[in-house]
Structure 1
Amino acid sequence: MRLLPFIYIFIFGVALTVALLSIDLSFWLIYAVIIAVYIVLIVLPPVYTIYKSNNLKKIERFLENNKRKPLFAFPLAVKGGNREEIIRAIQVILSKYKQPYMKQVYKTNLALFEKNLTLFEQHAKQISKEPLYTYYVAYAEAWKGNFEKSQALKEKLPTGWMPSAIDAVIAKEKGDLIDFRRAADESIRLARGVQKFNLFYSFEWMEKETTK
């Protein structure tokens, strides 16, 4: 993580404190203002990048600056497109994070990149929260070629990137690369933050696998 921006923020905070003291505000009001400013300048930018940014280059810079954290190393591994590196990145996540829901989701992803449909479906059905349960089960049905069932499950998903992602998986399994690209682009357009980055390179990876 780059230190220089934090030095600038600290200097700004000191200058702001001096300015507020010069107009005789109460200690607690000054304290509240400084805390609010630090939250806006330090906490909100990374939160925005993770969840809301639409700028892939900015998201990638954030991931590179935080790649020691397994959850941020995984999307970079997907970008690299090397199956073994992706699998290792997921295995690190599984070793570091013990929350059941997180383990369920990443075990499902591990089975996906290992091309193990049986395990993928098994782990998908163990995911304990919506909408990812329905999303991954719909994905499994598409992978099995049960397109009508996958479409029916897709209809239960909330508006956003997930329905289009399922359309892309269905198109991929049908071998329709034109529909795959159209649905993939729509899913990426609707996504934000790290999810957008992950989808962009996941679909790129899927397309390469399809055309091998």
Structure 2
Amino acid sequence: MKQHVLFYSVVFLLCFLLGFIQAPFYLIALLLIISMSWYMYVQISPILFSKDVHKSEKFILKHQKNPMYHFYYAIANNLDDEAEAALAKFNAKYKNSHRQALMNTTFALYRNDVSEAKKHAVSIKPPVYRTYYEALIAVKSRQYEGAKRLAEQLPKGWMKESILSEVSHKQGNKTSAKKHAENAYEQTRGLQRYLIYKNNETFFAS
């Protein structure tokens, strides 16, 4: 909070000084656009663009009042009760059916509840994410060939690699599972990179 106040105070002061010396309006507007864009990038970088999972985790911990961040931190660290509580808060706060479907499917898969995951997955949008979660459901259902076929339909490399890693892991092929997990990890940033890292922490530690 102090950081936000300091930033906005500095920007306001600079704009005031530029106005005081009668600087052109476009210069003041440009200052506002550049400074706000830079500040927003710095703020969200750990969760969207960073390759440093420790920075991402630090950001998540700092923003745990947001039930979405709290939820993902909880499932990444196997905190069952916290994950359930955060999901309840999320569902109560956000009424977007797609976002609820995504979170509820994720939690159902986390708890290995295939039937519950299937119930929510049909409402996931856009289709590519629905296909990704359907592939994860296929893995949980031991339908490995079906999971592979769904993985081939995914345009995003990290999604395909994640599915293939899960399939290899379930089939007992640790070498292949680790390779695909590393490929998925290298193709992601921010929150998704953090989740892949935590889900495959034993691989990355070896």
Normalised by the length of structure 1, the TM-score is 0.83
2:149 to 147, 152, 159: 152
Paired residues of 1:87 and 1:114 also in contact (CA < 8 A): no
SS at match of 2:123: coil
> How many residues get paired?
203
**1:153-192 aligned within 5 A:** 153-192=150-189
Structure 1 portions without partners, runs of 5+: 208-212
**1:32-181 aligned within 5 A:** 32-181=29-178
In structure 2, distance between residues paired with 1:154 and 1:33: 45
The structural deviation recorded for 1:80 is 2.7
Give the aligned residue type for 2:163: I
Paired residues of 1:142 and 1:169 also in contact (CA < 8 A): yes
SS at match of 2:23: coil
SS at match of 1:165: helix
Indicate whether 1:9 and 2:7 are aligned.
yes
Identical columns (%)? 21
Give the aligned residue type for 2:79: N
Normalised by the length of structure 2, the TM-score is 0.85
The structural deviation recorded for 1:42 is 2.4
Indicate whether 1:196 and 2:193 are aligned.
yes
2:28 to 27, 31, 38: 31
Give the aligned residue type for 1:76: Y
In structure 1, distance between residues paired with 2:128 and 2:56: 24
Structure 2 portions without partners, runs of 5+: none
Structure 2 vs 1, CA of residues 89 and 14 (structure 1 numbering), >3 Å: closer, same or farther?
Answer: closer
Give the aligned residue type for 2:189: R
Structure 2 vs 1, CA of residues 89 and 203 (structure 1 numbering), >3 Å: closer, same or farther?
Answer: farther
